[in-house]
């Protein structure tokens, strides 16, 4: 048996769609699980959709994800690699070079002519205007738009030769056999059967000499000895055309596996209209690589056997992945699930790693940019992150809900008041907090000491409520303290905030709060 070989064949048409990233991931997991070769090929023959820089972008995503491969384009020079003819700074490594389709045009043209010679394809000289009119007429009759085989039935061999000699523009179309049934076993969907009467005579070679996806895909998969084609469900209707091409060439047909669509929560096809769909968007928002891979792996697959496990390392995914447990139905992209997974991974990060990963996001924040040098220090930022770590959904949120750590605060003086507390009680409360904090030295300024001393000062009386008005409850001390330190209705505990701010800044804010209480009277 030949060694298993799989490939991913993304097109450089923009950012990396989450669906394409899932295809990359599933191919990579399948390859790692089965000791297979993982090949990267670039399908850039659709020049109308080509986006400058996107090839390099998708190679960067592969590097970011850690999907190692020995064959295909890469951004660094490797042993035996050469620089791409069409892309400066891109190198190609592997025995089946080149791996970029725009550099393989002569191959496709050669095989297209072979199909014509064997009677499995034919030249088409129809102009775009005729084809457009034909489609309009068919749609008006509520017929499926299909080519009417005008050139196959009405253009003689002599006319073909004359047109070719005069450089008349042409395409080459696949001659679909009539009244046949194409059947194949899909590794995800099971038995698939399609009547050839429903298949159009697909263009294989365009008038500009570039192949369509169908021809290039089959030629490359054969020449690169691909044994398993794992791709999105949108290519399922094209598979019979590809099988016909394999049969026409007399080549061995690979095994196919078509992955389910990704859906919005309303079950519509995942699209930009309802949120971000590019991997780069989520990287830019501070979602961790491990969380994205974990989340995307579960979009259409589960480990089976009644497993309730939701958090997987890449090593666990490789060990457990198989195509048998890929779903047939569409998979819903649940952003809340991604947020939860990402928060779980953030919680597990060592503080040093969290700090390093967060710096690029801090640097984007205006409150950080305008903060004092002390508040930009590694020590201070690590304190902030220690408090925020368990609350973050993604790294772009760093500091966002606690700007009071970086800026001077402004707030309405009434924010200091806790329920029915009087002006006199409020002033006394703040003075008590000051007294407690002044008696804690810089050396002893820890969260534990702050919490212990402040709670001891607050006493153990219950907080006030609508029916209970006993003075001296914990809220009487802790609410004014927290409001004075943050200027916010909601924030981390006053012990945590005071610890981050430090002794000098915490006392400074309390003195300012005392001043506000005199304005209340």
- Which residues does the annotation mark as catalytic? 272
Spatial CA neighbour of 481 closest among 435, 395, 420, 416 = 416
Give the strand order in the sheet containing 91-93.
72-74, 91-93, 82-83
d(CA 520, CA 279): 52
d(CA 387, CA 43): 47
d(CA 279, CA 16): 6
DSSP string, 308-326: ------HHHHHHH--GGGB
The region, left, alpha or beta by phi > 0 then psi within -120 to 50, assigned to residue 134 is alpha
d(CA 284, CA 297): 20
d(CA 135, CA 149): 13
Per the CB < 8 A criterion, the answer to whether 345 and 376 are in contact is no
412 burial level (CB within 10 Å; 0-12, 13-18, 19+): exposed
Per the CB < 8 A criterion, the answer to whether 414 and 496 are in contact is no
Please give the distance of CA 519 from its chain centroid, rounded to a whole number: 53
d(CA 121, CA 2): 30
d(CA 423, CA 417): 8
Spatial CA neighbour of 12 closest among 68, 48, 53 = 53
| Structure tokens that stand for 330 in this block | 């569409």
Per the CB < 8 A criterion, the answer to whether 116 and 109 are in contact is no
Spatial CA neighbour of 373 closest among 398, 341, 406 = 406
Q: How far lies 467's CA from each of 229, 367, 417, 464, in Å?
A: 70, 42, 17, 8
Cis peptide, bond prior to residue 57, ω within 30 of zero: no
d(CA 239, CA 235): 7
Q: Is beta strand 203-205 parallel, antiparallel or unpaired with respect to 190-195? A: unpaired
Classify each residue of 465-497 as buried b or exposed e, where b means 16 or more C-beta atoms within 10 Å of its C-beta.
eeeeeeebbbbbbbbbbbbbbbbbeebbbbbbb
DSSP 252: P
Per the CB < 8 A criterion, the answer to whether 152 and 174 are in contact is no
Per the CB < 8 A criterion, the answer to whether 91 and 309 are in contact is no
Per the CB < 8 A criterion, the answer to whether 461 and 470 are in contact is yes
């Amino acid at each position: 048996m030949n060694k298993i070989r799989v490939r991913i064949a993304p097109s450089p048409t923009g950012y990396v769609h989450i669906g394409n990233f899932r295809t990359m991931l599933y191919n990579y997991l399948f390859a790692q699980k089965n000791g297979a070769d993982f090949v990267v090929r670039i399908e850039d023959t659709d020049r109308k959709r080509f986006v400058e820089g996107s090839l390099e972008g998708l190679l960067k995503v592969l590097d970011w994800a850690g999907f190692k491969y020995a064959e295909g384009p890469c951004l660094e020079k490797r042993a035996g690699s050469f620089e791409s003819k069409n892309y400066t700074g891109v190198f190609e490594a592997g025995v089946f070079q080149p791996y970029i389709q725009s550099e393989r045009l002569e191959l496709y043209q050669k095989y297209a002519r072979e199909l014509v010679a064997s009677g499995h394809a034919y030249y088409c000289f129809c102009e775009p205007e005729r084809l457009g009119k034909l489609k309009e007429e068919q749609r008006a009759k509520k017929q499926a738009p299909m080519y009417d085989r005008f050139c196959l039935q009405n253009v003689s061999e002599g006319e073909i030769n004359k047109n070719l000699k005069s450089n008349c523009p042409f395409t080459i179309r696949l001659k679909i056999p009539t009244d046949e049934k194409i059947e194949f076993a899909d590794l995800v969907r099971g038995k698939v059967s399609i009547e050839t009467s429903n298949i159009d005579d697909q263009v294989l070679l365009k008038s500009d000499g570039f192949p369509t996806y169908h021809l290039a895909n089959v030629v490359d998969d054969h020449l690169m000895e691909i044994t398993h084609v794992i791709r999105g469900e949108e290519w399922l209707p094209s598979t019979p055309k590809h099988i016909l091409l394999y049969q026409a060439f007399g080549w061995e047909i690979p095994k196919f596996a078509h992955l389910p669509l990704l859906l919005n929560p309303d079950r519509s096809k995942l699209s930009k209209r309802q949120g971000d769909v590019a991997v780069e968007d989520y990287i830019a928002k501070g979602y961790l690589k491990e969380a994205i891979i974990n989340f995307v792996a579960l979009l259409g697959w589960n480990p089976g056997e009644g497993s309730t496990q939701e958090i997987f390392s890449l090593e666990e995914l490789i060990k457990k992945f198989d195509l048998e447990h890929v779903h047939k139905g569409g998979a819903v992209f649940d952003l809340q699930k991604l947020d939860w997974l990402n928060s779980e991974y953030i919680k597990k990060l060592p503080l040093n790693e969290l700090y390093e990963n967060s710096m690029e996001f801090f640097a984007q924040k205006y409150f950080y940019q305008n903060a004092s040098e002390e508040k930009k220090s590694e020590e201070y930022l690590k304190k902030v992150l220690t408090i925020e770590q368990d609350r973050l959904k993604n790294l772009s949120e760093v500091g966002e809900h606690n700007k009071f750590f970086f800026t001077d605060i402004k707030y309405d003086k009434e924010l200091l008041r806790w329920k029915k507390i009087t002006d006199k009680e409020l002033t006394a409360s703040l003075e008590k907090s000051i007294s407690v904090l002044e008696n804690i030295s810089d050396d002893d300024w820890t969260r534990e000491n702050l919490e212990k001393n402040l709670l001891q000062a607050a006493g153990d009386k219950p907080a006030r409520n609508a029916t209970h008005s006993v003075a001296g409850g914990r809220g009487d001390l802790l609410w004014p303290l927290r409001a004075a330190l943050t200027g916010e209705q909601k924030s981390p505990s006053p012990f945590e905030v005071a610890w981050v701010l430090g002794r000098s800044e915490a006392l400074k804010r309390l003195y300012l709060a005392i001043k506000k209480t005199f304005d209340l009277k």
